[in-house]
Structure 1
Amino acid sequence: MTQTIAPRVRTLVLLLLAVTGALLAGAAPASAHAALTGSDPGQGAVVETAPAQVSLTFSEQIAVSDDAVRVLDPKGERVDKGDPANPSGTTYTVRLLSGLPDGTYTVAYQVVSADSHPVAGAFTFSIGAPSETTVSASAQASDDGLVGMLYGFGRYMSYAGFVVMAGGAAFVLACWERGSGVRAVQRLVVSGWLALTAATLGLLLLRGSYTGSGKAADIFDLSLLGEVLQTKTGAALVSRLLLLAAAALFIAVLFGAYDKREDEEKRDLTFGLAIGGTVVAAGIAASWAMSEHASQGLQPGVAMPVDVLHLLAVAAWLGGLTALLVALYRAPASTPLGRDAVQRFSRLAFGSVVTLVVTGVYQSWRQLGSWSAFTDTRYGQLLLGKIALMVVLVGIASFSRRWTARLAEAAVPEAREEEKQPAGAVPEADGAGEGGEERAAQLARQRAAVESARQKRLRDADPGRSGLRRSVLAEAGVAVVLLAVTTVLTQTEPGRTEQEARAASSTASPAAAPTGQGTAAVTLNMPFDTGGEKGKGVVTVDLDPARAGDNDVHVYVEGPDGQPVDIPEVKLSFTLSAKDIGPLPVVPDRITTGHWSASGVQIPMTGDWKVEVTVRTSDIDQVTVSKNARIG
C-alpha cells in the first residue's frame, strides 16, 4: 500500500521506460543458466571415423558428476569411459572406447549450472552413416516428478517465510512499535521463521536427488547429502540455517525485552534492533544472491548486492502488507492500529516500490538483454506476467491510499464519540464488607471487558477502516500470486541464455546427407478446432527430407478461409511407438504470420512415426492433432 504513489507514478514510469530502453539497447552477451552452445562431434553430424572423445561446450562453468555425460551406441550400451574432464574453460570431454562401429550414437548429459540449476539434454551423431537406434533421447527436467515439485514448493515456502519474517519485524520496528505486544503479529513473524527454517532443511535434503536421479528414495541418502554440503548451493543453505539461529535471537528480543520496555526506552532500543535485524536479513537474502542467477553472468559484483536489495524491498513491502492485514483484522481493542502507523507503512511501501522497480529494471536487462526476449522466451513471458501483477498491485494500493485518508478523517469523530459515551454500565464497588476485594476485582474485569467491547465496536464501525481492510486483503491476494511467479522465474532459464542456445543451434553445421537415403519431403495437413473463438483452421507440417538424421520442419497455420493466421503457440512431437521412442518434443520458432520453423530436428531411425501438433489459439483454448508419417 502506498499513500503517495498516485501523484508520482507518471514521472516514475516515464523514467523507468527511458532507463529500460537505454539498458536493453546497449545489452552485451551474458548467461545465467548453463546452455549447451557447441559440441564435437556436432549435433546431427555424420563423421567418417570414430572419434576418440566427445566434447561439450557450455555457456558457463558447470558441476559434473561421474555419470554426468553418457554416450550410448545404437543398442543402448555405454561406450564412454572414465569421468568427464574439463580441459579448458567451459568445455568438458569424455573419452570413448576404441573401434566403435558405424551407426547413430546418443550423447546424454545431466549437469548443474553455476547458478545451482540442473541442466539436462541429449543429441545424436553418427559414424559412417545414420542407423536405427533403440535409445530414447529424453532428458529429465528439474521440474519433473515428485522431487521436482517438492523442491519447487520448498523454494516458494522459503521465499514466503523470509518475506513474512523480515517484513513483519520491519513493520513493528518502523511503523507500529506497540505491535510487538500483539499476539497475532508475534505468531505471524514466528510462523515466517518456522516456514523458512523448515523449507531450508527440506531443500538441503532434496538437493542431491533434485540434481541427480530425481528419485524420492534418494532424499535421505546421507552420501548425497555429504556431496551437497560440498557444493556452493549446499554451503549457502547451511549459512542460511546459521543466520536463522541469529534471527531467532532477534525475534526473542523483539517480542520479549523490547515489548516490556516503556516507550522512551523502546526508542533507544529500536535503532540497535533495526541495525541488527537489517544485517541478519541481508545475510539471509545474500544466501540466495550468492548461489543463484545473480552470482553468474554479466556483472556479478553489481548483480549480487542489487539482488539482496531487491529481496529486502520485497520483504519490507509484501511482508509489511501481511503484518498490516493481520493488525487490521486481529489487533485487540486495547492495542488498536492507529492512523499514524498506517501512514508510516505507506511511506515505507512507496520507498520499497521505487527500490523494486529500479533493481527490477537492472535485473531484467541483465537476464533478457533485448526487447524480443520478452515475447520469444519463457523467462520474458513470465517477467511480463510479473510486471502486470505489479501494476495491479500498485493500482489496488491507490485505493488503499484513499481509505487511509478517510481513516485519518474518521479518527476525530471517533474520539468525540468516545468522550460522549460512558465507560460502561457496571456499578462501582464500595469495597466494604466481606469479599469486598474479590468483588472489586470482578467489577474491574467487567468494566475492562465492556470498555474493550465498546472500543472494538467503534473501531469496526469505522467505514475507513473497513474499506482499508478490504483493499489490503486484495493486495495480499495479488501478492501471493506475485510471489509464486517470482519463484518460478528463479527456476527458469534466463532469456539471454535461451536465445544464445538457439543462435548456437542455428549456426551449427548441417549434417551430411547419408548415401542411399531418400530426400522426398513429407507434408501433413491436419484440421483443428480448439473450441474457442476463431479456433478452427488447418495446420500443415512439412518435414524435409523426411529421413533418419537431420531434418527441417516448417509449420503453417491457416484459417477456414485459407489465409495465414497467427496463434500464441505451436508445438510438435515425434513418437515411434514400435520402438518405444519418444515423444521427442520440438518447439519451432515463429518466422512470420502463420509460419513457424525448426532446423536440425533429429529423427533417430526410419519407421512409421506419429507426428503430434499442439495448437493454442488463446490462453485457455488448445488442442492436439496428429497424423502418422513414413520417415525414411
Structure 2
Amino acid sequence: MRTPTAARRTVSLLGTLLAALLWTWTAGAGTASAHAALTATDPANGSVVASAPRQVRLTFSEGVLLGADSVRVLDPRGERVDQGAPEHVGGRSETAAVALRAGIADGTYTVAWQAVSADSHPVAGAFTFSVGAPSETTVAAASAAGGIDPAVDAFYGIGRFAAYGGFVLLVGGAVFAGVCRSSRAVQRVAVGGWVALFVSTTVLLLLRGAYAGGKGLGSVADLSLLGDALSTKPGAALLSRLLLLSAAAVFLAVLFGTHSREDGGAAPERGRGTAWGLGAGGAVVAAGLAATWAMAEHASAGIQPWLAVPVDVAHLLAAAVWLGGLAALLAALWSGDTVRRAAVQRFSRMAFASVGVLAATGLYQTWRQAGFSWSSLTGTEYGRWLLLKTALVAVLLAAAFLSRRWTGRLADVAAPRAAAKKSAGVPAGRAGAGDPVRAAQLARQRAALAKAEGRRRRDADAHRSGLRRSVLAEAAVAVAVLAVTTLLTGTQPGRAEAEQKRSGAPAAPAAGPAEVSIAYDTGGTNGRGTARVTVDPARTGANTVDVTLLDASGRPVDVPELTLSMTATEKRIGPLRADLKRQSAGHWQATDFRLPMADSWQLSLTVRTSDIDQVTEIENVKIN
C-alpha cells in the first residue's frame, strides 16, 4: 500500500512532467486559424508571367511542416522542374519556397503542395501559373496534388475514434469507481478503456508517417517514416500518451487493488490521506492524457492558444467523466451488481457538473473555431458537423433528464451476493475446508447463484430496469457524439475556411466524381426513361464519362443513337463531344474525355429512340 508521502511524491513528479510537456508543445504557438490554409502564392494562381520565376512561394495561415516532396512543380508534360528541397522563407514556418530550374520553357505549370499543419492534420492542394502564355496541355492539378491514401485515412480515422473512446472509458470508469462504486463490471470498463487507448495510440503512431506523407499501408513498416513522425509535435504527443498510459496502469492497479469502493460509501478514515493522494495523482495523469490531444491539434494552433489548450483539456475531462461514467453505470446495472441509490445520485451530480463545464468550454470553442455567425455554422463543413454535435448533445441531455427521474424513484435493496450465500446453505468462510476441489466447486456455485439472483432482482425492479434503459439510450447517443467529435477534429475549422475564401487562394481539390440523373421523353413508343451520367473525376484534364439508360420500369435499355457533349458557355468553349462506346446493355462509356479548365460546364445529352423520335436534355456539371 502506498503511503500519503509516496502518493504526494508521485503527484509532484507527474505534475512536473505535465508542466514540461505543456511548455514544450505550446512554445512558439502562432495566432492564425487552425488547419493551415493556403492564403497566397507567388506567382499567383492562374496568372501569366512574362519570364520564368526563380522560385515558387506559398504562404499559409499557420505554420506547416515540410518534407522533401512537399512542393512539386510540373511542366505541361508532367515532368518536374523544381530542384532542391522546399524551405521556409526567412525562417517563417508559415511559408514554403522551392527553386526552379533555369531556362524552363513557356507554358502552363502546375504546383502541387502537401504539408502538415500545426494542428497535426495533413493538407494538400494545387494551383497553376503560366510563363509567356498558357499552353494547350496541362497536368491535372487534382492528380498532381496527391493526398492521403484512402486506406491509411480510413484506418487512421478508426484509430482516432478508438482513442477517444478508450480515453472516455478509462477516465470515466476510474472516476466512477473512486467516487461512486467499484465492482468487477466497472473495473472491466476502465481496464478496457486503457487497453483500447494503448492499442489505438500504438496504431496511430505506426500510421502517422504514412498519414502525413501521403503514403500507402505498405509504408507503415518504414522505420524512417516512424522516425520522421516522432520528430514532429503530433508524433511526440502520441509517444507521450504511451508513457502516461504506463502511469495510468499503475494507478488502476492501486485503485482496484486496495482502494475500491464496493458500496459507494465514504473512504475509511485511516486511508483518507492515501485516497486523496491517489485521486490527485489520477487527476494529473488524466489531464496529461487529455493534453496530448489539446497540445497537438486544433487548440494548439489558432487564436488564443494559451487559453484554448487548458479549455480543451477541461472539455475532454468533463466529457470523459460524464460519458465514461455512463458506460460504467450501465455496466454495473446490466451485470446485476447492487448499485445503491446514493451512488447513482453521486454520479448524477458529477454528470450535471460535467455538463456545465462542457457548455462553457463548448461555447468558447465554437466562437474560436467557427464564430457565432449563422453563415459560418451553416456555410462550412465544420459548422454543419458542429450543429449536428449540438443536436446530439441535446438528445443526450433529454435522455439524462429521464435517467434523473428514474434515479429519484430508486430504493435500496439487499445485496444479491448475500442472498445467494444464504440460498446456497453453506457458510462462505468454511465451505470445502480441506478439499481444494470441493472449495472451488462451491465457489463456482455461489458465483452462479449470485449472478442468477442479481439478474432476477435486476429484471424484477421496474425502477432499476427503467434506469437501465434510459442509461443505455444515453450511451448509444454518446457513441454518436464521439463519432461526430472525431470527424470534427479532422475537419478544417470555419474560421480557416473563411480566411482561405477571403484570400482567394486555391483550396485543396474537391472530391469527384460528378453525377447527374436526367429524365428524358422522346415522345414515341417506349421513349421515356432516365439517363444517369457520371463524369469521373470531374476535374480538368482527362475524365471518364459513363452513361446508363434505364426505361420507365428501371431496366437497362439500348437506343439507336446516344450523344453527349459539354460546353463552357461563359468562356465560349465547346461543345466538346464525348466519344461514347457501348459497353453493355444500356451502358455507354467515353475514356480520356479532356476538359481544359475548371468551370460550370453545360452537359447536353441527345437520345434517339427511333428514326423520328429524339430529344436533347441539358444539365450543368461542376468541373474542378
Query: TM-score, with normalisation over the residues of structure 2?
Result: 0.73
**Aligned-partner Cα distance in 2 for 1:154–1:71:** 34
Q: Which residue of 1 aligns with 2:614?
A: none
> Please, which of 104, 124, 127 is the counterpart of residue 128 of structure 2?
124
Alpha-carbon deviation of 1:339? 0.6
Shift of 1:135: 1.5
CA distance in 1 between counterparts of 2:435 and 2:56 reads 95
* 1:208 equivalent in structure 2: 209
**2:149–2:216 Cα contact (<8 Å) kept:** no
Give the 3 Å change call, closer, same or farther, for CA 580–279 of structure 1 in structure 2. Answer: farther
Structure 2 vs 1, CA of residues 374 and 142 (structure 1 numbering), >3 Å: closer, same or farther?
A: farther
**Residue 114 of structure 2: aligned partner:** 110
For 1:40 and 1:119, locate their aligned partners in 2 and report how far apart those are by CA, in whole Å. Answer: 19
Structure 2 residue aligned with 1:297, among 287, 293, 302?
302
Give distance in 2, aligned partners of 1:110 and 1:612: 37
Match of 1:100 among 101, 104, 113: 104
Q: What SS does structure 1 have at the residue aligned with 2:44?
A: coil
Report what 1:505 is aligned to: 504
Aligned in 2, Cα 1:79/1:337: closer, same or farther, shift over 3 Å? same
Amino acid at match of 1:135: V
CA contact (8 A) 2:336 2:451 kept: no
Mapped to 2, the partners of 1:436 and 1:228 lie a distance apart of: 58
Change (3 A) 1:454 1:281: closer
Change (3 A) 1:580 1:441: closer
- Change in CA separation of 1:387 and 1:144 when aligned onto 2, cut-off 3 Å: farther
Q: Which amino acid is 1:188 matched to?
A: V
Instruction: Give the aligned partner of residue 389 of structure 1.
Output: 392
The amino acid of 2:472's aligned partner reads L
Residue type of the alignment partner of 1:224: L
Separation of aligned partners in 2, 1:212 and 1:416: 57
Q: Of the candidates 341, 344, 359, which is equivalent to residue 342 of structure 1?
A: 344
The equivalent position to 2:311 in structure 1, one of 273, 292, 306, is 306
* 1:539-550 superposed matches below 5 A: 543-547=569-573
Any unmatched runs of 5+ in structure 2? 1-30, 508-515, 521-529, 533-565, 575-588, 606-616
Q: 1:43 aligns with which of 25, 33, 45?
A: 45
Aligned AA (1:96): L
Among residues 356, 362, 365, which one is paired with 1:363 in the alignment? 365
1:174 is aligned to: 179
Is the CA contact (8 Å cut-off) linking 2:517 and 2:531 kept in structure 1? no
Amino acid aligned to 1:240: R
Rate the CA distance shift 1:468–1:75 in 2: closer, same or farther, 3 A: same
1:30 and 1:496 in contact (8 A); partners too: no
Q: Does the Cα contact within 8 Å between 1:310 and 1:355 map onto a contact in 2?
A: yes
Amino acid paired to 1:235? A
Contact 2:180/2:261 (8 A) holds in 1: no
The alignment partner of 1:56 has SS state of: strand
Distance 1:421 1:305, change over 3 A: closer
CA distance in 1, matches of 2:439, 2:307: 66
Equivalent position of 2:592 in the other structure: 578
Q: Which residue of 2 aligns with 1:17?
A: none
Q: Is the CA contact 1:161–1:196 (under 8 Å) kept in the aligned structure 2?
A: yes
Question: What percentage of aligned pairs have identical amino acids?
Answer: 54
In the alignment, the residues of structure 2 paired with residue 143 and residue 311 of structure 1 have an alpha-carbon distance, to the nearest angstrom, of 27
Does the CA-based 8 Å contact 2:170-2:193 persist in structure 1? yes
Question: Could you say what secondary structure the match of 2:96 adopts?
Answer: strand
Offset of 1:229 from its aligned partner?
1.0
One-letter amino acid of the counterpart of residue 209, structure 2: G
Q: Deviations over 1:77-128 (max 9, x none)?
A: 1111111122233232111112222111100001111111100001111112
Kept in 1, the 8 Å contact 2:47–2:129? The answer is yes
Alpha-carbon separation, structure 2, partners of 1:454 and 1:107: 70
Q: Say whether residues 1:85 and 2:111 are aligned partners.
A: no
Distance 1:530 1:393 in 2: 44
Question: Is the CA contact (8 Å cut-off) linking 1:403 and 1:468 kept in structure 2?
Answer: yes
Confirm whether residue 318 of structure 1 aligns to residue 323 of structure 2.
Answer: yes
Residues 525 and 541 of structure 1 are in contact (CA less than 8 Å); yes or no, is this contact kept in structure 2? Answer: no
- Listed one character per residue, the Cα deviations across residues 193-242 of structure 1 (whole Å, up to 9, x for unaligned) are 11111111111110111111331111110011111111111111111111
Gap change, CA 1:112 and 1:425, over 3 Å in 2: closer
Q: Is the counterpart of residue 148 in structure 1 residue 153 in structure 2?
A: yes
Counterpart residue type for residue 58 of structure 1: F
Structure 1 residues not aligned, in runs of 5+ = 1-28, 509-523, 532-539, 549-574, 585-600, 604-608, 614-624
Matches of 2:299 and 2:128, distance apart in 1: 33
SS of aligned partner of 1:488: helix
Q: Any conservation in 2 of the 1:165–1:192 contact (CA below 8 Å)?
A: yes
- Give the SS at the match of 2:142: coil
Q: How many residues align?
A: 506
1:493 aligned residue = 492
The TM-score normalised by the length of structure 1 is 0.72
Equivalent runs, 1:105-504 vs 2, <5 Å:
105-138=109-142, 144-176=149-181, 179=182, 182-259=183-260, 263-332=268-337, 336-371=338-373, 372-407=375-410, 410-411=411-412, 414=413, 424=423, 426=425, 453-454=452-453, 456-504=455-503
Q: Distance in 1 between matches of 2:419 and 2:99?
A: 91
Distance change >3 Å, CA 321–CA 543, structure 1 → 2: farther
Q: In structure 2, what is the Cα distance between the partners aligned to 1:221 and 1:76?
A: 28
Displacement, 1:417? 13
CA distance in 2, matches of 1:234, 1:428: 56
- Check 1:444–1:349 CA distance in 2 against 1; reply closer, same or farther (3 A cut): closer
Q: 1:175: Cα distance to partner?
A: 1.3
Asked whether the equivalents of residues 35 and 492 of structure 2 are also in contact (C-alpha less than 8 Å), the reply is: yes
Take 1:146 and 1:417, find their aligned partners in 2: how far apart are those partners?
A: 49
TM-fit CA distance, 1:142: 6.0
Specify the SS of the correspondent of 1:256. helix
Offset, 1:259: 3.7
What does residue range 9-28 of structure 1 map to in structure 2 within 5 Å? none
Distance 2:379 2:153 in 1: 25
Q: Is the 8 A contact 2:386 2:488 kept in 1?
A: yes
User: 3-state SS of the aligned residue for 2:213?
Assistant: coil
Deviation of 1:249 (Å): 0.4
Verify the 8 A CA contact 2:110 2:138 in the aligned structure 1.
Answer: no
What is the DSSP-based 3-state SS (H/G/I as helix, E as strand, rest coil) of the residue aligned with 1:76? coil
Deviations 1:349-384 (A, max 9, x none): 000001011000000100012411100100000000
Displacement after TM superposition at 1:267 (Å)? 4.0
**CA distance in 2 between partners of 1:418 and 1:70 (Å):** 69
Equivalent pair of 1:145/1:214 in contact (CA under 8 Å): no
Distance 2:197 2:594 in 1: 43
Distance 1:110 1:611, change over 3 A: farther
Report the 3-state secondary structure (helix = DSSP H, G, I; strand = E; otherwise coil) of the residue aligned with 2:72: strand
Q: Select the structure with the greater relative contact order (CA < 8 A; seq sep ≥ 6).
A: 1
Distance 1:438 1:79 in 2: 80
Give, in angstroms, the shift of residue 578 of structure 1: 2.6
Counterparts of 1:495 and 1:54, CA distance in 2: 28
CA contact (8 A) 1:610 1:626 kept: yes
Q: Does the aligned pair in 1 maintain the 2:420–2:449 contact within 8 Å?
A: no
Q: In structure 2, what residue type is equivalent to 1:44?
A: G
C-alpha separation in 1, matches of 2:500 and 2:310: 28
Cα displacement (A) at 1:265: 4.5
